[in-house]
A and B are shown apart, each in its own frame.
Chain A
Amino acid sequence: MANYILKRFLSLIPTFFGATFLAFLIIQMAPGDYLTQLELDPKVTPETIARLRAQFGLDRPFHEQYLLWMHNLLHLNLGYSFAYQAPVLEIVWPRVLNSMVLVVPSTILLFLIAVPVGVYGALRQYSLGDRVVSFLAYLGLAIPNFFLALILMYLVLQVYFRTGVMVFPVSGMTSSGFEQFSFWQKVVDVAWHAVLPIVVLTTSDIAGFSRIMRGQMLEALSQDYVRTARAKGLPERVVVYKHALRNAVIPIVANIGGILPTLISGAGLVEVVMAWPGITPLLLDAISQQDLYVVAGFLTMGLVLLMIGNLLSDLLLAWVDPRIRYE
């Protein structure tokens, strides 16, 4: 096992260099750079733009920029943001934490809801309940997140117009005067703001996830060992939960590692629509402005987490799946 881990770990090194190189290359291949926008400003002279370009190192050849970046990266320095004039990590990290306030609870909720829903659907296949659940799941899948967020905001406003009560905040992560709140008031305030975005995130993910679970479970239930278990006269509860379910969750466990990078990658457009100060609005700005090192630095963080996540997945898989042994 130790041998296997070591091998896996060593194989990560070329992957890391290859992937960062590709990421850097793709960003660089986009036309223009951070200063292109400034070129249309009637007040700024071309000399100034050329000077800034030299200052940011954007006038150097690609390989020099990459090597410099890699050199910094190996010293755990993700680079410098042009727009913020500050180290990338300093800007990105608080946003990652904000995003986690949404992503962690919605991921937990996802598992708590989608797994039972999937199992239920498999056990009562084509029953009325299964159909209703399936219908709702597809509905959730069909409505884009940002749109669902807009609908919820609209509903909140309508309730407010009719009753004068703001059930949930329209947007944002904290209320005015947040700084003056006590610790517990702060926690409650953020939680109150987080409810709608978490609902949006969870509903959309439940659909896909519960379908996978349902499919896995159906497949497991049709296996020989389940029939054998039933034939042995084991109680249905044991057959379903001890034999079928344990095997059905294997692919899901295998994907747990993949959750790691999603934890830092933010909650997507919901954050933009609901003014949640997470990673997505920041990253969108950085991409549209070609704030090179913010994008590259962020991709690198995601890459490292993905690699660690995959490693973890493999180890978990070895642990839950009796068919896999690394000796």
Chain B
Amino acid sequence: MRKAVLLAGILALAGVASAQTFVWPQKWTVAKPSEAKRGGTLRAAVISDYRTFNPFVTAESGNVPDLISGSRGLATRDPTTGDWIPYMAESWTISPNKLEITFKIRKGMKWSDGRPITADDWITTWRIHTDKAVGSNSYDSFFIDGKPIVLRKIDDYTIRFIYPKTDAEAFNIARFEPWPAHVFGPVYQREGAEGIKKMWTLNEKPENIVSGGPWLIESYRPGERLVLKRNPAFGEWNKDEAGNPLPYLDRYEIKIVKDVNAQLAEFLAGNIDLMAPSTVDHISQIRQAIQQGRLDATLKVNASPVASSQFMVFNWNKASDPFKQSLFRSDKFRRAMSHIVNRQAVIDVVYGGLGTPMYSSVYPVLTQWINPKVPKYEYNPQQAAKLLAELGFTKKDREGYLVDARGRRLEFNLATNAGNAQREQIAKLIVDEAKKVGVKVNFQAIDFNTLVGQLLSSGPDRPFDAIIIGLTGGGLDWPFGSNVVPCKGNLHMWNKSGQCLDPRETLMEKLYYQGRTELDFKKRVEIGYRMQEVEAELLPVIYIAGPNYHPAWNNRLGGEHPDAIISSIWGSRQVELTFIKK
């Protein structure tokens, strides 16, 4: 009897210990835990080569450190709701003034070399990321308006983030992945930043790379193939709802295939399991192969828009040409230009019918953030002509272009980067539509770096009229760019005079900071709605359209997301929950 009590006690203790596991919710996948099979290899392909294994110097997205760590930190997002949920943290508390978040770190997590994952790992990782001499790409994310975010170790399993001001992206900042202090710490102490930069290059032996995430590096052949293998230590605290350790797969193999046609060929041949075709031609080839029974795969056409933008921006700083400057600063003119952008034609011609029109700086895929009541200034040449007439452009010259009372012709130069066929096509469509209403647009494709140089130049007289370019990135927490909205922002591309010129710019800047410091999601969305209203009125940038996301996978894979979550934000699956059916 006493033995039984003791046993029950031990079991209870074991129960406490296993409470530290993170259970991957069933609702993230279509497969039930009982369906999932263990073992097998997932085969994918990427366009560009991997450059380093070092988490502190890596710069490209989808890099090796992100892959092996799973790119999750103390908190992660639930793709079904978008909410932050505890991940490597077990729980957290937020101080009443909302400037401090204290995370309780999950116990029982281990690095692949068997050492426990503790608060020291976060502290060391943060120290190295914020050392200027290291040159980490994450450096800026540890500062808010130039003021540092401070991490403090309370005990081995408690860590506190202290923010200089309340911040909507507090969790996004806290979610950075930790790296082993026992590996990087001693080198950093001995040799500083230079020592860190020399670590974990591509020449490092894979067995020396320590991971806290789902994968370990098995081998890497430069320019060819990265092979990852399951990290058993990860499965000790990551389980499915049936208690099976994750990931299910033994291996994750990523081929480096620079040419998308070759990628397609590999997918059609069944040599890779995942593909996200971006052209209509590729989509129809995959569809044909599926229909003719040559390929057993699933293709989700138009799953969602992608999180990127294409837009036309006018230069407000043209002191040398007051006529153009006042034109470009007129919201009526910009609205007229929005009315001549035939977004449906862009989608049909440039994206083969598989695209989404854009009217604001919030990507269409961020549906929660889109204010449906905001005016769109859709394609409408008559309206454009009317607005231009209101600006005094009522007569046409002999060549059919609009002129004002003083005989000045409505004409501007439009540039984009040469080699980007899609942007060049968009520009040509704009040239044609502009001509129809009597605006002369002189299109020129120029070198990317020259274009960026012009776009980001500052001062009262900048060397361009209008540019078509795009941006990617941007958060789910607060989808407005910290560099874009504030008038001093580096990417405040329309006006780089260093100050707000229009009262609506000032208002947007104010709203930006208000939203950034609002922690209540609902209230933040309201501020975001208001921002879009002001933005639509000011129309600093004319958004055009973007392509859609079309994931495809070989049907030997199971464990994809339910249809409702499949999007360019969440992808088609969590690799941890993916398994090989056959």
Are A171 and B262 interface neighbours, CB within 8 A? yes
Beta-carbon contacts of A46-65 to B below 8 Å, as 1s and 0s? 10100110010000000000
B419 CB to nearest chain A CB (Å): 9
B9 CB to nearest chain A CB (Å): 47
When distances are taken between beta carbons in the complex, the residues of chain B under 8 Å from A278 are 223
With contacts A43-B140, A275-B255 known, is A176 near B218, CB below 8 A?
no
When distances are taken between beta carbons in the complex, the residues of chain A under 8 Å from B491 are 40, 42
Interface check A44, CB cutoff 8 A: yes
Interface check A143, CB cutoff 8 A: no
**Chain A 35-85 interface residues, beta-carbon cutoff 8 Å to B:** 36-46, 48, 51-52, 55, 83-85
B463 CB to nearest chain A CB (Å): 12
Are B473 and A170 interface neighbours, CB within 8 A? no
Query: Looking at the complex, which one of B135, B224, B469, B482 makes contact with A173 (CB distance below 8 Å)?
Result: B224
When distances are taken between beta carbons in the complex, the residues of chain A under 8 Å from B302 are none
B41 CB to nearest chain A CB (Å): 7
When distances are taken between beta carbons in the complex, the residues of chain A under 8 Å from B258 are 272, 275, 281
Interface check A274, CB cutoff 8 A: yes
Docked CA distance A39–B449 (Å): 10
Interface check B421, CB cutoff 8 A: no
Query: Looking at the complex, which one of A36, A37, A150, A160 makes contact with B453 (CB distance below 8 Å)?
Result: A36
26 pairs, CB–CB < 8 Å, chain A vs chain B: A32-B449, A32-B452, A33-B449, A36-B453, A37-B448, A38-B59, A39-B490, A40-B469, A40-B471, A42-B482, A84-B52, A85-B51, A85-B54, A90-B201, A94-B222, A95-B223, A153-B262, A157-B268, A170-B266, A171-B265, A171-B266, A176-B41, A272-B259, A278-B223, A281-B49, A282-B49
Query: Looking at the complex, which one of B48, B265, B456, B483 makes contact with A45 (CB distance below 8 Å)?
Result: B483
18 more CB-based (< 8 A) A-B contacts, given A42-B473, A42-B483? A40-B469, A42-B481, A42-B482, A43-B140, A43-B473, A83-B51, A84-B52, A170-B262, A170-B265, A171-B262, A172-B225, A174-B221, A176-B41, A176-B225, A272-B258, A274-B259, A275-B224, A277-B223
When distances are taken between beta carbons in the complex, the residues of chain B under 8 Å from A31 are 447, 449-450, 453
Query: Looking at the complex, which one of B43, B51, B139, B253 makes contact with A84 (CB distance below 8 Å)?
Result: B51
Query: Looking at the complex, which one of A43, A48, A176 makes contact with B253 (CB distance below 8 Å)?
Result: A176
When distances are taken between beta carbons in the complex, the residues of chain B under 8 Å from A55 are 133, 135
When distances are taken between beta carbons in the complex, the residues of chain A under 8 Å from B164 are none
When distances are taken between beta carbons in the complex, the residues of chain A under 8 Å from B59 are 38, 83
Beta-carbon contacts of B248-280 to A below 8 Å, as 1s and 0s? 000001011111011001101101000000000
Are A48 and B222 interface neighbours, CB within 8 A? no
Are A273 and B262 interface neighbours, CB within 8 A? yes
**Nearest residue, chain A, Cβ from B206:** A179
With contacts A32-B453, A277-B222 known, is A43 near B141, CB below 8 A?
yes
Are A157 and B224 interface neighbours, CB within 8 A? no
**Nearest residue, chain B, Cβ from A90:** B203
When distances are taken between beta carbons in the complex, the residues of chain A under 8 Å from B135 are 51-52, 55
Interface check A26, CB cutoff 8 A: no
When distances are taken between beta carbons in the complex, the residues of chain A under 8 Å from B225 are 172, 174, 176, 178
When distances are taken between beta carbons in the complex, the residues of chain B under 8 Å from A176 are 41, 43, 225, 227, 253
Question: Which of A40, A154, A170 is most buried by chain B, counting CB atoms within 10 A of its CB?
Answer: A40
Interface check A134, CB cutoff 8 A: no
When distances are taken between beta carbons in the complex, the residues of chain A under 8 Å from B257 are 171-172, 275
B301 CB to nearest chain A CB (Å): 22
Are B224 and A172 interface neighbours, CB within 8 A? yes
**Nearest residue, chain A, Cβ from B57:** A85
Beta-carbon contacts of B489-531 to A below 8 Å, as 1s and 0s? 0110000000000000000000000000000000000000000
With contacts A85-B54, A85-B201, A176-B43 known, is A40 near B452, CB below 8 A?
yes
Query: Looking at the complex, which one of A98, A160, A273, A275 makes contact with B256 (CB distance below 8 Å)?
Result: A275
B282 CB to nearest chain A CB (Å): 13
Are B449 and A30 interface neighbours, CB within 8 A? yes
Docked CA distance A145–B248 (Å): 42
Are A36 and B202 interface neighbours, CB within 8 A? no
When distances are taken between beta carbons in the complex, the residues of chain B under 8 Å from A178 are 221, 225
Docked CA distance A166–B266 (Å): 11
**Nearest residue, chain B, Cβ from A36:** B449
A interface residues with partner B (beta carbon < 8 Å): 30-33, 36-46, 48, 51-52, 55, 83-86, 90-91, 94-95, 98, 150, 153-154, 157, 160-161, 166, 170-174, 176, 178-179, 272-275, 277-278, 281-282, 285, 290
When distances are taken between beta carbons in the complex, the residues of chain B under 8 Å from A272 are 258-259
The 6 closest A-B pairs by CB, nearest first: A32-B449, A277-B223, A42-B481, A275-B257, A31-B450, A31-B449
Docked CA distance A137–B321 (Å): 58
Question: Which of A43, A161, A179 is most buried by chain B, counting CB atoms within 10 A of its CB?
Answer: A43
When distances are taken between beta carbons in the complex, the residues of chain B under 8 Å from A281 are 49, 223, 258
Beta-carbon contacts of B194-206 to A below 8 Å, as 1s and 0s? 0001000111000
Are A174 and B224 interface neighbours, CB within 8 A? yes
When distances are taken between beta carbons in the complex, the residues of chain B under 8 Å from A157 are 265, 268-269
Beta-carbon contacts of B454-475 to A below 8 Å, as 1s and 0s? 0010000000000001010110
When distances are taken between beta carbons in the complex, the residues of chain B under 8 Å from A42 are 471, 473-474, 481-484, 491
When distances are taken between beta carbons in the complex, the residues of chain B under 8 Å from A172 are 224-225, 255, 257
**Nearest residue, chain A, Cβ from B203:** A90
When distances are taken between beta carbons in the complex, the residues of chain A under 8 Å from B269 are 157, 160, 166, 170
Query: Looking at the complex, which one of B139, B197, B256, B261 makes contact with A48 (CB distance below 8 Å)?
Result: B139
Docked CA distance A172–B224 (Å): 7
Interface check B413, CB cutoff 8 A: no
A147 CB to nearest chain B CB (Å): 11
Interface check B190, CB cutoff 8 A: no
**Chain B 124-162 interface residues, beta-carbon cutoff 8 Å to A:** 132-133, 135, 137, 139-141
Interface check B91, CB cutoff 8 A: no
B491 CB to nearest chain A CB (Å): 6
When distances are taken between beta carbons in the complex, the residues of chain A under 8 Å from B556 are none
Are A84 and B224 interface neighbours, CB within 8 A? no
When distances are taken between beta carbons in the complex, the residues of chain A under 8 Å from B473 are 41-43
Interface check B394, CB cutoff 8 A: no
Docked CA distance A278–B139 (Å): 34
Interface check B425, CB cutoff 8 A: no
Interface check B420, CB cutoff 8 A: no
Docked CA distance A135–B390 (Å): 66
With contacts A32-B450, A166-B269 known, is A275 near B490, CB below 8 A?
no
Docked CA distance A285–B222 (Å): 14
A204 CB to nearest chain B CB (Å): 18
Docked CA distance A20–B345 (Å): 49
A93 CB to nearest chain B CB (Å): 10
**Nearest residue, chain A, Cβ from B261:** A150
Query: Looking at the complex, which one of A41, A90, A285 makes contact with B49 (CB distance below 8 Å)?
Result: A285
A298 CB to nearest chain B CB (Å): 15
**Nearest residue, chain A, Cβ from B266:** A170
Interface check B37, CB cutoff 8 A: no
**Nearest residue, chain B, Cβ from A166:** B269
When distances are taken between beta carbons in the complex, the residues of chain A under 8 Å from B201 are 84-86, 90
Are A273 and B222 interface neighbours, CB within 8 A? no
Docked CA distance A154–B268 (Å): 11
Are A39 and B224 interface neighbours, CB within 8 A? no
Docked CA distance A101–B48 (Å): 22
Are A39 and B452 interface neighbours, CB within 8 A? yes
With contacts A42-B483, A85-B51 known, is A277 near B221, CB below 8 A?
yes
**Nearest residue, chain B, Cβ from A290:** B449
Docked CA distance A119–B256 (Å): 43
**Nearest residue, chain B, Cβ from A33:** B449
